[in-house]
Amino acid sequence: MTNIDNIDDKLREKGLRATAQRLMICREIDKAGHIEIESLYESLKKQIPSLSIATIYKNMHSLAEKEIITEVNVSGKKTMYELNIDPHIHLVCSECGNIEDIPFDTIKLVSNIKELSDRKISECKLTTVGICSKCLG
Amino acid sequence: MTNIDNIDDKLREKGLRATAQRLMICREIDKAGHIEIESLYESLKKQIPSLSIATIYKNMHSLAEKEIITEVNVSGKKTMYELNIDPHIHLVCSECGNIEDIPFDTIKLVSNIKELSDRKISECKLTTVGICSKCLG
DNA sequence: TTAGATGCAAATGTTTTGCATCATC
DNA sequence: GATGATGCAAAACATTTGCATCTAA
């Protein structure tokens, strides 16, 4: 669970340097909720013109490895990233395509599945398709 | 819900021609359970040397559009495909990386989420991480 | 001071496209 | 026979890599 206000410390805790680029990447992901590489690059290039897209890719890997961000994969969409925040699931809107978070206790779901299937399960990702709150009106 | 034995008819029902390539693609996906483009191509090229990878890509799109197959996205893995069979969820093995199906009533889960979140939701995909049956021994 | 991070440019990998030819219906 | 499917080659797009330079700790 990441709080964007302490992101400097969070990074150092995890053994990553708090570079300007890395901080801005985290803040931009936080601001966007879910964002893909190209959008991230376009947004940040305005602020750091020298920014290289290779730096973004490298950071996506290091941040994901340290579990500060998570890769979000949705069929038919480019890979996106989000900050690791409170447990939630995704709602992909079938009208507008946007992705919305729904607060949801995935911990409970995991124990549910464990009971039903008698397997060792440590985590889960749940993606739903439906109508987002904007389109619902 | 697709039965591989009637795949010819299934394709025609959906308005797709039952070409040799398309049939073999379906059978290979069925055989593999979950398969990525490159593996599919390598396997089938042995049987149809003239096969083009563009044909595979085109078929993945048409078959997915007709809901005969489904794209499977797992973080850190290439996009895979599976036949649409009975409701199930995925278990990505944290030991060996394999993907296993777990029979699971996603219909019930969807109505659960609807109740809890008061949203319009039509479908869901659930991916878990844990230990697969092979690695459990 | 030094290990890790960045930026650049080139290499590699993945997916799509246009079009001529072919095969299913 | 018409229309959709295939194969090819090229284009477009996405990701990774190596290395010199820079900078946070």
pLDDT, tens digit, 9 for 90 and up, residues B40-97: 999 999 999 999 999 999 999 999 999 999 999 999 899 999 999 889 999 999 999 9
How close, in Å, is residue B126 to chain A by CA atoms? Answer: 4
The span from the CA of B137 to the CA of B133, in Å, is 6
Positions in chain A short of pLDDT 50: none
> Which A residues 19-38 have CB within 7 Å of strand C?
19, 21-22
CA triplet A103, A89, A26: central angle to 5 degrees? 90
DSSP β-bridge partners for residue B36: B80
Strand D bases with any atom < 7 A from protein Cβ? 4-10, 14-18, 23-25
Pair of tokens at residue B99: 């993907």
Q: Which of B84, B63, B64, B75 is nearest to B21 (CA)?
A: B63
Name the region of A67 (left: φ>0; alpha: ψ -120 to 50; beta: rest): left
From A76, A113, A130, residue closest to B121, measured CB to CB: A130
What is the radius of gyration, based on Cα positions, of chain B?
16
For the entire predicted model, the pTM comes to 0.93
Domains of chain B: residue spans and CATH: 4-83 (1.10.10.10), 88-136 (3.30.1490.190)
